[in-house]
Structure 1
Amino acid sequence: MGGILEGKRILVAGVTMDSSLGFAVAKVAQEQGAQVVITNFGRALSITRRIAKRLPVEPAVLELDVTNEEHLAGLADALRAHVDGLDGVVHSIAFAPQEALGGNFLNTSWADAATALQVSAYSLKSLTTAVLPLMKEGSSVVGLTFDATVAWPAYDWMGVAKAGLESCARYLARDLGPKGIRVNLVSAGYTKTIAAGGIPGIEKVENVWSERAPLGWDPTDSSPTGRAVVGLLSDFFPKTTGEIVHVDGGYHAMGA
């Protein structure tokens, strides 16, 4: 018996290390029968090509900088070399300059804040529209967020960017719904990734989940998040769009 993504073609944009959430998604997607293509760019691209070999099936790796108009314009054609269409897109992309993080909120320049907003929020729209020619009714877009309803220590302009991402997903859901394309987000609990480790002061929130999440939370285990994303990519949520699914052990629902 095949998995819940049997025969589906999935693009996972933003895979670096095997500890990344994107890697977890790609792994579970393959285990559930999907053909997967992954992306990264610049100096990280060579790392991604090595890490790709650790997946159950080594996927095609494409270069994609979501701030590069030429990359976006050529993405659909680059994908056609490997797949004849797309059933799902995963946005696992976020970046903010160091000056926009770590308690520097009041002093962050517009240039640095704008970078965080473009890479981490606007790119959900630019990525989705770039691959729209390959998508059809029943396709699914899933992005990864970190609860933007509250202010976190050290997260600063990345938190603002995640709020923009969450709003962007709702507007995409509105505009792509008539095409039969769903757009949802998974809000993951704190996970020890390379990206998280690069935020000065983020260690202040590391232990909060294990203390407060009723189901418990292991910040080194990205598989629950990967499985949730794959669930939303599947046909099991045919009328769910504009939604944020929390995968955090229940932490978000607790007041104290």
Structure 2
Amino acid sequence: MGSGLLAGKRVLVTGVLTEASIAFHTARIAQEQGAQVILTGYGRISLVERIAKRLPQPAPVIELDVTDDTQLAALPERVREHVDGLDGVVHSIAFAPESCFGDFLGTDWPDVAKSIHVSAYSLKSLVTATLPLLSRGSSVVGLDFDARVAWPDYDWMGVAKAALESVARYLARDLGPHGIRVNLVASGPVRTIAARSIPGFAELEDDWNDRAPLGWQAQDASGPAASVCALLSDWLPCTTGSMVWADGGVHAIGR
């Protein structure tokens, strides 16, 4: 067995689409720390497969739509084609239609429902799908953006993130007796394709760097990814139902 914080761990990472993403850097660091990584992708699978080849070791890619019950049911079998179980699962999945940003009062329920389904309920869906592969000591980590306050233009995605935080707490309650931890990492803004589609992201990014005691580099996702890997490791065995901030300290600073 190799050395490293995640030596011998088998980790499923969702949501890798570009090299800029926290999910990609999580997969990279996990491999560097000794883990065997499997990726899932949705939609542009060929793109995910190309990105997977840029990891230190090329990783297999499984197609997964977290709103598709058939694909969720087939996930354990698909994962077992590569590993015989999982020690960690990373939820890096979020989506909201354009109407959900910038017009909170004007957004219709079908778009809000889609946001909550993909961005929050999917954590429960992913966990229940992978539960046959998990065992005592396993860790589930989701990616979050602190939803305790109302951010400019973030609107219904902020509501979805608040729902995600609540889902994680209830999962921690129900999976704790099985020895499975569930936590979130709340990152500061990271310059990804998805982030650039959010109105006001550039202003938020600039303000974040000014306010963060440690400073903030929105083009560098490795810091939050390292926090994810720490939670995947055995070094936080008593931590569950928690939100770990990896935001340069902004959450602790008043205006």
Report SS of the residue matched to 2:136: strand
Map of 1:85-96 to 2, 5 A cutoff?
85-96=85-96
CA distance in 1 between partners of 2:21 and 2:223 (Å): 13
CA distance in 2 between partners of 1:90 and 1:123 (Å): 12
| One-letter amino acid of the counterpart of residue 152, structure 2 | P
Number of residue equivalences: 254
CA distance in 2 between partners of 1:54 and 1:154 (Å): 34
Deviation at 1:200, TM superposition (A): 2.4
Verify the 8 A CA contact 1:37 1:60 in the aligned structure 2.
Answer: yes
Verify the 8 A CA contact 1:67 1:119 in the aligned structure 2.
Answer: yes
| One-letter amino acid of the counterpart of residue 35, structure 1 | Q
1:145 corresponds in structure 2 to 144
CA distance in 2 between partners of 1:7 and 1:91 (Å): 20
Deviation at 1:114, TM superposition (A): 0.3
Unaligned runs of 5+ in 1: none
Deviation at 1:175, TM superposition (A): 0.1
Deviation at 1:166, TM superposition (A): 0.3
CA distance in 1 between partners of 2:159 and 2:203 (Å): 19
Report SS of the residue matched to 1:28: helix
1:209 corresponds in structure 2 to 208
Per-residue CA deviation, residues 221-247 of structure 1 (Å, 9 max, x unaligned), is 100011000000000000100000000
Map of 1:96-135 to 2, 5 A cutoff?
96-101=96-101, 103-135=102-134
CA distance in 1 between partners of 2:18 and 2:167 (Å): 26
Per-residue CA deviation, residues 104-140 of structure 1 (Å, 9 max, x unaligned), is 1111110000000000000000000000000000000
CA distance in 1 between partners of 2:238 and 2:225 (Å): 21
Could you list the structure 1 runs, at least 4 aligned residues long, displaced by more than 6 angstroms after superposition.
none
| One-letter amino acid of the counterpart of residue 77, structure 2 | D
Verify the 8 A CA contact 1:7 1:34 in the aligned structure 2.
Answer: yes
Overall identity of the aligned pairs, in %: 61
Report the RMSD for the aligned CA atoms in angstroms. 0.8
Deviation at 1:218, TM superposition (A): 0.6
1:65 corresponds in structure 2 to 65
Deviation at 1:201, TM superposition (A): 2.6
Verify the 8 A CA contact 1:155 1:202 in the aligned structure 2.
Answer: no
Verify the 8 A CA contact 1:183 1:241 in the aligned structure 2.
Answer: yes
CA distance in 1 between partners of 2:41 and 2:197 (Å): 18
2:77 corresponds in structure 1 to 77
Q: 197-206 or 228-237: which moved more? A: 197-206
Deviation at 1:45, TM superposition (A): 1.4
CA distance in 1 between partners of 2:174 and 2:135 (Å): 14
CA distance in 2 between partners of 1:45 and 1:107 (Å): 34
With normalisation by structure 2, the TM-score equals 0.98
Per-residue CA deviation, residues 35-69 of structure 1 (Å, 9 max, x unaligned), is 00011112x21111111111000000000000011
CA distance in 2 between partners of 1:91 and 1:172 (Å): 13
Deviation at 1:202, TM superposition (A): 2.1
Verify the 8 A CA contact 1:153 1:204 in the aligned structure 2.
Answer: no
CA distance in 2 between partners of 1:128 and 1:118 (Å): 14
Unaligned runs of 5+ in 2: none
| One-letter amino acid of the counterpart of residue 199, structure 1 | I
Deviation at 1:146, TM superposition (A): 0.2
Deviation at 1:14, TM superposition (A): 1.0
2:5 corresponds in structure 1 to 4
Verify the 8 A CA contact 1:5 1:29 in the aligned structure 2.
Answer: yes
CA distance in 1 between partners of 2:51 and 2:170 (Å): 34
